[in-house]
Structure 1
Amino acid sequence: MNRAYQIKIVTTELEIQQCWEVAFLLRPHLKKANWSSMILEMMQNEKYSIAGIMDDDKFVAFAGYRAMTSLHSGNIIYIDDLCTLESHRGKGLASQLLDYIKSIAISSNKDAVVLDTDFNNHTAQKVYLKNGFKFVAVHLACGVRR
């Protein structure tokens, strides 16, 4: 029997700190010392939100997303981050989070839900394709720090 997991909206600094293990798996370049302050600033200034899934007292999956408008995609929800702890993969948690974010997009009359993924992250790409996403663009970046 599959266990039912509930989505929790992350709002407090303690909850942000509890997301660290999942976030670090996806973003190993981040530093734990400024994780909470960075997220709080993003929440305040950039409409960033986190939806997470807990197992007991531990976040095992999370999605960071924001409402935004771009000339390319229109009025959208952009998913910055989506990750599940390896111990909880294959349980449909990423799909549950994607469905939740798509429901927000529908209820707030957005044009689309958009995300970027690494070219080599085939596991994530399979999840996204299974959940109705399509390859529609190539994201390019140019580093400016030395």
Structure 2
Amino acid sequence: METIYQIKKIETELEIEQCWDVAFVLRPHLDKTKWQSTIAEMMQNEKYSITGILDQNKVVAFAGYRIMTSLHSGNIIYIDDLCTLETHRGKGFATQLLKHVEGIAVSLDKDYVVLDTGFTNNTAQKVYLKNGFALTAVHLSNKLK
């Protein structure tokens, strides 16, 4: 029997909580006790949204993104987070989420969908390049604390 996966916008506190396991795979530095408040603040102040893929009512992959404008890229959707639980990788969820966010960007008349990825994250880079992304910049940071 083929499994049916549901893709949906994550909005409630329960749905946000269900994203924790996926988020922790990508962002192991995060503090679970601050997860809800951090996401709520991002949603309220930074136009952050989450779209998830559910398997039997459990979030197994999600994309977190912001609608924004930058002088560099124009009117964009910036993907902050894109991750799939290790047990569900290889099923095309990242591609589904990228296409979903792209559809949102097109419907909002955005110029680009933009994201950053680590230099050593070759698996993700292959997915992004396969889905039409191009290497257009180098992201630099200066850790202050």
Establish whether TM, by shorter chain, passes 0.5. yes
For the pair 1:136 / 2:140, whether they are aligned, the reply is no
Provide the secondary structure at the position in 2 that maps to 1:144.
Answer: coil
1:36-75 maps to which residues of 2 (within 5 A)? 36-75=36-75
Q: Deviations over 1:69-95 (max 9, x none)?
A: 000000000000000011111100000
- Structure 1 stretches lacking a partner, 5+ long: none
Question: Is 2:42 the counterpart of 1:11?
Answer: no
Q: How far off is 1:2 after superposition?
A: 5.5
Deviation at 1:4, TM superposition (A): 3.6
2:10 and 2:49 in contact (8 A); partners too: yes
Matches of 1:92 and 1:40, distance apart in 2: 28
TM-score by length of 2: 0.97
Distance in 2 between residues matched to 1:2 and 1:88, nearest whole Å: 14
Instruction: State the Cα distance separating 1:144 from its structure 2 match.
Output: 1.1
Contact 2:47 2:67 in 1 (8 A): yes
Report the equivalent of 2:110: 110
SS at 1:114's partner residue?
A: strand
Give, in whole Å, the separation in 2 of the partners of 1:2 and 1:70: 42
Query: CA offset at residue 8 of structure 1?
Result: 1.1
Q: Which residue of 2 aligns with 1:76?
A: 76
Counterpart in the other structure of 1:30: 30
AA of the residue aligned to 2:21: E
Corresponding residue of 1:98: 98
| AA of the residue aligned to 1:18 | Q
| Aligned AA (2:41) | E
Cα-to-partner distance string for 1:9-66 (whole Å, 9 max, x where unaligned): 0001111000000000000000100101100110000000000001112110000000
Letter in 2 for 1:134: A
Identity score, percent: 70
Segments of structure 2 that go 5 or more residues without pairing to the other structure are none
- Normalising by structure 1, we get a TM-score of 0.97
